[in-house]
Chains A and B, each alone.
Chain A
Amino acid sequence: MSLPPVVASLTRHRLTALLLVLQVSLTCAIVCNVAFMIANRATQLRQPSGVAENELVMIDSTDLDNNAQPLVRHATDLAALRAIGGVTSVAAVDALPFNLNDWSNGIALVPDAPSRATATAFNGTPGELATLGLHLVQGRDFLPNEYVPLDSAHDWAGIDRVPVVIVTRALAEQLFPGQDPLGKAIYPDEKPVRIVGVVDHLLRPHMHDGVDSEYATLFPMLTDSADVTYVLRTSPQDRDRVLKQAADVLNRLDDNRILRHAQTFVQLRENYFHRSRTMIALLIAAATGLLFVTALGIAGLASFWVQQRRRSIGIRRAVGATRNDILRYFQTENFLIVTTGIVLGSVLAYALNLMLMEHYEQPKLPVLYLGIGALALWLLGQLAVLGPALRAAAVPPVVATRTT
């Protein structure tokens, strides 16, 4: 099939063809960017938190007895929780990935210097690393004699007494690029704290941009306020039972408290990302809708053209064109229109991407997504035109002898 006759025929329908090109290009531009947004958000959704997500359950407890000794209370609670069947380990902590309870400190490398990074402090009782299932890639866990109270009653003064810290690999690389972080001192407040270990991953209670999400420090500090989160590690199938039992056990020990947010880690993660998931669903719906409407447009216009050209088709058939020739003709025409649309659409896609980069902190659109968009539109165009083209191919040569 040679192109010139197809092009010549299209110039007779310049406006209509132009509209179709415009529609394809707009769809291409939007769908490419939407696909990229979906991929971005899906990556965020799947980012590993670093903890054993399928094995953790937790419950927040607020003690109402203001004469109670929080440290004693937490120790008693932990002992009782540890005794629940199926629980492998427990810890009392303040922060967890996605729990929004974020105490961040600017980390300096010399006293009173500007901070090099802002990192969340995760504090907890001995066994926190094992309970959360964090992976130490360098160094060691805390020793029993390194634990100090957080002293939350005096503005969290424990931060100036704690001797050691475990950091995430992301933070270590930010603070000491290319060096061995073990044994180095950091200044989360006024006093130096020595790094004794590095864990591979731990997400902060809030997601931040890029690697900032993993700037975390673990301190051997015992939470000593009335609020505490108990984390229990168990096998996935026991989670619901353990959660129910945990609430009962705590209330039986002392019911002068408020228990809140009893949930599995999976639920915590789902709640954190519910907006992202809604957004992904909406983006998918929008992209599907756009492709659908564009397919309708292509099919609609193609069938008009087929009806309009019945006589010409008949003549072509009468002078020797095969059904296949007619079919190819319409397919080529569609390919030409869609390709022009895609070329224009690529330019629009980058223009749109520039706007999104400026206003919505969207990264630069990789070429891959243009390829995906182009492929989708080519396929869609060919599918949409197939019906009308087949009808055109079925036009008998005898039509040529009839007047419209």
Chain B
Amino acid sequence: MLGYYFVLALYSLKRSKVITVLMILAIGLGIGASMTMITVLHVMSGDPLPGQSAQLYVPVIDPHPISKTKTEEPLPDGNMSWPDAMYLLHAVRADKQAAMAAGALPIRPTQNTLRPFFEFGHYVTADFFPMFATPFRAGSGWTAQDDQQHARVVVLNADLNRKLFGTQSSIGRTVRLKDTDFRVIGVLDDWHPQPTFYAQIDDRAFGRNDQFFLPLQTAQELQLDFNGQLTCWGSGGDARTSDHCAWLQFWVQLDSTAKAHAYRDFLADYWRDQQTHGRFPRPEHARLYGLMDWLTNQHVIPADLDLQLWLALGFLGVCMVNIVGLLLAKFLRRSGEISVRRALGARRRDIFLQLGIESMVVGLAGGMLGVALAELGLWSIRQRPDGYAQLAQMDISMLLGTFVLSVMASVFAGLLPAWRACNVTPALQLKTQ
């Protein structure tokens, strides 16, 4: 019976080709636009560190003075001053903790004929590597003792390592960053979490590419250029080690919820303790954000993309209303035919099934067009110069999702018209004929 209804649907659709094409086009456009944006947001809201992220937290303490001009508090950016970060680091109250800041340095190859070039990287402390479970291709990170001794060591990411040393082993060799020689002690295996959750969340959170990691204290001693936002308040100049300039990121690993609670209390105690020393003028509201919460809180997904998704869904909505209207007109026009079938003994649900299958056929065709259009849309997004562009790929689950969405959309769109059509009073229709 289903096969017969399918054939009937094809006949019916063939009879009014233009309308059929219009419906398929409308559903295809709506689905294509929506799926493009859903896919982009899906890949962008993924977990940058699966398996690890649940134990990672950002402690947020706010040393800023109470603002007298602005009524609304800005978003806490989680940046810390040097003394606060060093206190938390040396207190060792979490399972693992690391302070970090972004940097850009001129790399001066000594081994080959390359011209000096700039590379982005991070200044971090020892726990960075085990805490984020960074995969090493060779060697390893450094120890807390290296941090203390301001060791001249560096961990390279795979690209920079290849550029400087080719395929040879680089462990133990030196690389010149700005004016200082650093010893390579580890090489990462193409580690590019997307977004780079550990950095200040800005326009470059996606597509950013850290190629070197070296000890934060060493960078501070050598006055290596820091790259990012440094906010100072009060007076007394801008200085990276002062207690009134925030610029460092701090991450902790806490293996259980109990430990997370304890750590939050520890932060609150620190806040109140600092208040007795005349710092932290704001009322205590120390917070601890989990990794994924932190990304949401910092709006890692640009508002424009969000808006694009809503626009696409709105578009799909209008397309759906459009199709409901067209199907309704189409089915009601066949009242005569339906009445004959009903008079010959077809039950309502037979009619309903037949018309439902007809709308599903439209949905399937629209879905296929939608997938093609979504692939086209994603391709065009990959041509954008944005950092997230390269992530815009459709996986199997999204592909299936597209089909399910389009069939659901068209069946849903067909429900009302089919229901109306199968409620046609046969006698009345037959009489008017």
- Interface residues of chain A, those whose CB is within 8 Å of chain B, are 15-16, 19-20, 22-23, 26-27, 30, 34, 62, 64, 66, 106, 112, 114-116, 155-157, 160, 189-190, 227, 256-258, 260, 274-275, 278-279, 282-283, 286, 289-290, 293-294, 296-297, 300-301, 303-305, 307-308, 359-360, 403-404
Contacts and interface: CB of A to CB of B under 8 A. Distances in A.
Contact of A294 (B116, B318, B385): B318
Contacts of B168: none
B418 interface: no
A303 B108 CA distance: 73
A156 B238 contact: yes
Nearest to B108: A64
Nearest to A41: B304
11 contacts: A15-B420, A34-B311, A64-B116, A66-B179, A115-B69, A155-B238, A160-B237, A189-B235, A258-B116, A296-B25, A297-B326
Contacts of A106: 233
Query: Which 10 A-B pairs give the minimum distances between C-beta atoms?
Result: A304-B329, A19-B325, A297-B322, A114-B68, A23-B321, A155-B237, A66-B179, A155-B239, A155-B238, A296-B22
Contacts of A300: 18-19, 22, 325-326, 329
Q: From DSSP, what is the main secondary structure of chain B's interface residues? A: helix
Contact of A23 (B235, B308, B322): B322
A256 B116 CA distance: 8
A278 B311 contact: no
A303 B16 CA distance: 11
Contact of B328 (A16, A278, A289, A307): A16
A258 B302 CA distance: 32
B228 to A, nearest CB: 11
Interface string B293-322: 000000000111011100110110111011
A307 B333 contact: yes
Contact of B318 (A16, A66, A293, A403): A293
A30 B322 contact: no
Contacts of A290: 314-315, 318
B384 interface: yes
B139 interface: no
B118 interface: yes
Contacts of B332: 16
Contact of A289 (B22, B29, B308, B420): B29
B433 interface: yes
A391 to B, nearest CB: 13
Contact of B333 (A34, A257, A308): A308
Contacts of A15: 328, 416, 420
Given A258-B118, A304-B19, 11 more contacts: A16-B332, A22-B321, A23-B318, A30-B315, A64-B178, A66-B178, A66-B179, A189-B237, A283-B311, A293-B318, A300-B325
B330 A286 contact: no
B44 interface: no
Interface residues of B, number: 55
Contacts of A296: 22, 25-26, 322
B433 A404 contact: yes
A258 B325 contact: no
B324 interface: yes
B311 A360 contact: no
B89 interface: no
A293 B106 contact: no
A397 B303 CA distance: 59
Contact of B325 (A16, A279, A403): A16
Nearest to B26: A293
Nearest to A153: B223
Contacts of B25: 296
B118 A294 contact: no
Contact of A293 (B302, B311, B319): B319
Contacts of A279: 304, 308
A343 to B, nearest CB: 17
Nearest to A305: B329
A290 B314 CA distance: 9
Nearest to B233: A106
Contacts of B304: 275, 279
Contacts of B18: 300
B386 interface: yes
A189 B234 CA distance: 9
Given A297-B322, A304-B333, A286 B239 contact: no
A45 B216 CA distance: 40
Contacts of B318: 23, 26-27, 30, 290, 293-294
A155 B223 CA distance: 11
Residue among B26, B324, B325, B385 with the most chain A CB within 10 A? B325
Contacts of B237: 155-157, 160, 189
Given A23-B322, A297-B325, A301-B326, A360 B22 contact: no
Nearest to B302: A275
A308 B16 CA distance: 14
A20 B68 contact: no
A160 B317 CA distance: 60
A29 to B, nearest CB: 8
A179 B271 CA distance: 43
A404 B336 CA distance: 11
A372 B222 CA distance: 61
Nearest to A157: B237
A359 B307 CA distance: 10
B117 interface: yes
Nearest to B68: A114
Contacts of B178: 64, 66
A373 to B, nearest CB: 14
A359 B433 CA distance: 56
Given A300-B19, A304-B329, A275 B321 contact: no
A115 B433 CA distance: 83
Given A289-B29, A290-B318, A304 B118 contact: no
B324 to A, nearest CB: 6
Interface in B20-37: 22, 25-26, 29-30, 33
Contacts of A155: 237-239
A27 B19 CA distance: 20
Contacts of A16: 325, 328-329, 332
Contacts of A114: 67-69
B238 A62 contact: no
